[in-house]
């Protein structure tokens, strides 16, 4: 049977990396089937086009996965496919919580023939077998033989054949920057970020987060060997294609078990499996100097930190009191000393936020090492404790906000400002943090660093801008380049003609001088 796995586009901007679930389910598909993948972010298709594709390719089963914010698009696509007579199975965090909605059991229209609840590693082969026999059930739940909810172990973990998968749709480099990058160094033909998981689960239970409910609070890890082998495969492919192959460890909290993370990072270094990587780690776990040394030595470049707020009262409200705003600066300095920088994520519209929260936050951000601040609005995702609290308090203004997804728009009333004021705060945050002046400031603050680091922060800033300000088309990119031309020309000049004086080696490079460096340094 030919199976299509489809992930809808997010409707705002191009995703910077493919979705792991598609490659994972492809690897877990029983032999004898052909699995095709379409990521709507890389290959946009409307309902008519996808229906035509399904007919032309003689597809027998379609699997669709989506987060809450893409679910309306996912349902429209599913409806178009089902109209061709091909069955659709849906999975992922949204339909796990809202299975009745997908199956039309809540009084609304039906969008899916079957729904896979939770982690589908073990149920997917069953779904495929049932589809072949034409006996799809409505609901597939991961349960053990006694019927109890069971979470798949990540040992063993399937080999995802990254050396063979067609990745051309995921090259992140716009052609316009190729001349500049060629000057930066060898190996800049392509730049891809590949999702890799080393573990699942987070016990922290922040009020707005789906993860603790979805993956459970029992943390599961892959073996170090399995992760290292995956990195070696990716590294070999990057080298073969003379391109950059970076990794996003998509674990919700990559250092949730610090001892195990250190052991993994040491094994990566020992196996010379370093690639440049990004991971999500909560600030409280970054107090450990040895961990941060190992992050840098194993190729860690960017750490995503869910700071959420600089106000302890807000953090306590959302059950994230383990975040201590007083230590944010020290954490970021500790990383920056090792040339590791942070993606700092903030949420506005929290219950203790008042107008001016964006400027108050930015005033702190400006005193930190340069990074990539991002701003969002508190969003009640289905089945989270936050959703239940706001529903009980009668504060939801759009209880089914996902049915009409509007980017950066609140679905409940904040306590100390209006919805419009909260929207204005997010807009201000993005506009200020990514203004040409702020971009130039971030690049200049790395004046003592090699040009590669400075180009790195420039490109990252320009790309991240696109999370809020749509930058899909060529014109939008040209406009951004035009606005930042001074900084771009300055760096281009530096890359071509060089600069006086070379910065010395950082403390970490000296400490780990015997550790092999990542293949190509950014």
Given the rule CB under 6 A, which residues bind ligand B12?
10, 12, 15, 17-21, 24, 63-65, 67-69, 89-94, 116, 119-121, 124, 195, 197, 209-211, 250, 252, 376, 381
Rounded to a whole number of angstroms, the minimum distance from the CB of residue 212 to ligand SF4 is 5
> Would you count residue 317 as binding ligand SF4 (CB under 6 A)?
no
Could you give the residue ranges of the DSSP H alpha helices within 133-271? 178-184, 211-215, 224-240, 258-270
Q: Which does 81 bind (CB under 5 to 8 A by kind): ligand B12, ligand SF4, none?
A: none
For tokens 């009262």, what's the residue?
A: 313
> Would you count residue 436 as binding ligand SF4 (CB under 6 A)?
no
Rounded to a whole number of angstroms, the minimum distance from the CB of residue 350 to ligand SF4 is 14
Sequence-separated (6 or more) residues with CB below 8 Å from residue 46: none
Q: Which is nearer to ligand B12, 238 or 376 (CB)?
A: 376
Crossing angle of helices 474-483 and 485-497, in 10° steps, is 80
Q: Which does 491 bind (CB under 5 to 8 A by kind): ligand SF4, ligand B12, none?
A: none
Cα 404 from Cα 69, distance rounded (Å): 9
Q: Which is nearer to ligand SF4, 292 or 386 (CB)?
A: 386
Q: Which is nearer to ligand SF4, 13 or 210 (CB)?
A: 210
Rounded to a whole number of angstroms, the minimum distance from the CB of residue 151 to ligand B12 is 10
Check if the beta carbon of residue 355 is closer than 8 Å to that of residue 414. no
Check if the beta carbon of residue 268 is closer than 8 Å to that of residue 223. no
Q: Which does 192 bind (CB under 5 to 8 A by kind): ligand SF4, ligand B12, none?
A: none
- Partnered with residue 277 across adjacent β-strands are 247, 300
Q: Which is nearer to ligand B12, 19 or 320 (CB)?
A: 19
- Count other C-beta atoms under 10 Å from residue 492's C-beta: 17
181-210: contacts with ligand SF4 (CB under 6 A): 202, 204-206, 209
Rounded to a whole number of angstroms, the minimum distance from the CB of residue 46 to ligand SF4 is 34
Cα 307 from Cα 347, distance rounded (Å): 8
For tokens 């230590």, what's the residue?
A: 327
Q: Which is nearer to ligand SF4, 37 or 347 (CB)?
A: 347
Collapsed DSSP state (helix, strand, coil) of residue 469: coil
> Would you count residue 211 as binding ligand SF4 (CB under 6 A)?
yes
- Partnered with residue 36 across adjacent β-strands are 4
Could you give the residue ranges of the DSSP H alpha helices within 406-497? 419-433, 436-444, 451-465, 474-483, 485-497
Check if the beta carbon of residue 417 is closer than 8 Å to that of residue 449. no
For tokens 């201000």, what's the residue?
A: 428
* Whether residue 156 has a cis bond before it, omega within 30° of 0: yes
Q: Which of the 8 DSSP states describes residue 146?
A: T
Rounded to a whole number of angstroms, the minimum distance from the CB of residue 289 to ligand B12 is 26
Rounded to a whole number of angstroms, the minimum distance from the CB of residue 323 to ligand SF4 is 9
Rounded to a whole number of angstroms, the minimum distance from the CB of residue 202 to ligand SF4 is 3
Q: Which does 481 bind (CB under 5 to 8 A by kind): ligand SF4, ligand B12, none?
A: none
Rounded to a whole number of angstroms, the minimum distance from the CB of residue 250 to ligand SF4 is 11
Binding mask 245-284 for ligand SF4 (x = CB under 6 A): -------xx----------------------------x--
User: Where do contacts with ligand SF4 occur on this chain (CB under 6 A)?
Assistant: 202, 204-206, 209, 211-212, 252-253, 282, 306
């Amino acid at each position: 049977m030919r199976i299509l796995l489809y992930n809808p586009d997010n409707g705002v901007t191009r995703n910077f990396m493919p979705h792991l679930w598609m490659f994972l389910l492809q690897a877990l598909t029983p032999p004898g089937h052909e699995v095709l993948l379409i990521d709507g972010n890389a290959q946009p298709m409307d309902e008519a086009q996808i229906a035509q594709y399904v007919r032309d390719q003689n597809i027998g089963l379609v699997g669709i996965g989506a987060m809450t914010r893409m679910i309306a698009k996912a349902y429209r696509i599913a409806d178009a496919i089902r109209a061709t007579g091909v069955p659709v199975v849906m999975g992922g965090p949204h339909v796990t919580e809202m299975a009745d909605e997908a199956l039309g059991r809540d009084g609304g229209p039906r969008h899916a023939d079957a729904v896979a609840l939770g982690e589908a590693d073990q149920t997917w082969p069953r779904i495929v077998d049932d589809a072949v026999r034409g006996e799809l059930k409505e609901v597939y739940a991961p349960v053990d033989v006694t019927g109890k909810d069971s979470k798949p172990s990540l040992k063993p973990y399937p080999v995802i054949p990254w050396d063979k998968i067609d990745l051309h749709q995921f090259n992140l480099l716009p052609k316009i920057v190729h001349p500049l990058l060629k000057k930066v160094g060898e190996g800049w033909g392509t730049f891809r970020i590949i999702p890799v998981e080393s573990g699942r689960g987070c016990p922290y239970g922040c009020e707005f987060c789906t993860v603790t409910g979805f993956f459970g609070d029992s943390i599961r890890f892959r073996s170090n060997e399995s992760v290292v082998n995956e990195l070696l495969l990716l590294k070999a492919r990057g080298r073969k294609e003379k391109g950059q192959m970076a990794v996003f460890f998509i674990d919700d909290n990559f250092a949730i078990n610090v001892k195990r993370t250190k052991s993994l990072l040491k094994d990566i270094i020992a196996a010379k499996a370093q690639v440049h990587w990004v991971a999500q780690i909560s600030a409280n776990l970054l107090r450990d100097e040895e961990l941060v040394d190992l992050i840098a030595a194993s190729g860690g470049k960017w750490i995503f930190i869910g700071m959420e707020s600089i106000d302890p009262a807000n953090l306590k409200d959302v059950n994230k009191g383990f975040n201590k705003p007083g230590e944010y600066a020290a954490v970021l300095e500790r990383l920056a000393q090792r040339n590791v920088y942070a993606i700092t994520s903030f949420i506005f519209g929290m219950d203790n936020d008042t107008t001016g929260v964006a400027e108050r936050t930015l005033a702190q951000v400006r005193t930190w090492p340069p990074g990539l601040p991002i701003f969002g609005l508190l969003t009640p995702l289905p089945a989270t404790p936050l959703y239940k609290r706001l529903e009980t308090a009668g504060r939801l203004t759009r209880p089914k906000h996902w049915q009409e997804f509007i980017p950066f728009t609140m679905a409940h009333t904040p306590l100390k400002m209006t919805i419009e004021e909260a929207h204005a705060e997010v807009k201000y945050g993005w506009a200020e943090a990514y203004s040409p002046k702020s971009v130039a400031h971030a690049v200049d603050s790395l004046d003592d660093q090699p040009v590669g680091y400075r180009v790195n922060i420039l490109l990252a800033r320009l790309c991240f801008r696109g999370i809020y300000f749509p930058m899909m088309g060529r014109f939008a990119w040209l406009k951004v380049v035009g606005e930042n031309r001074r900084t771009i020309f300055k760096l281009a000049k530096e890359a071509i003609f060089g600069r006086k004086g070379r910065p010395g080696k950082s403390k970490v490079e000296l400490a780990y001088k015997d550790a092999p460096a990542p293949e190509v340094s950014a």
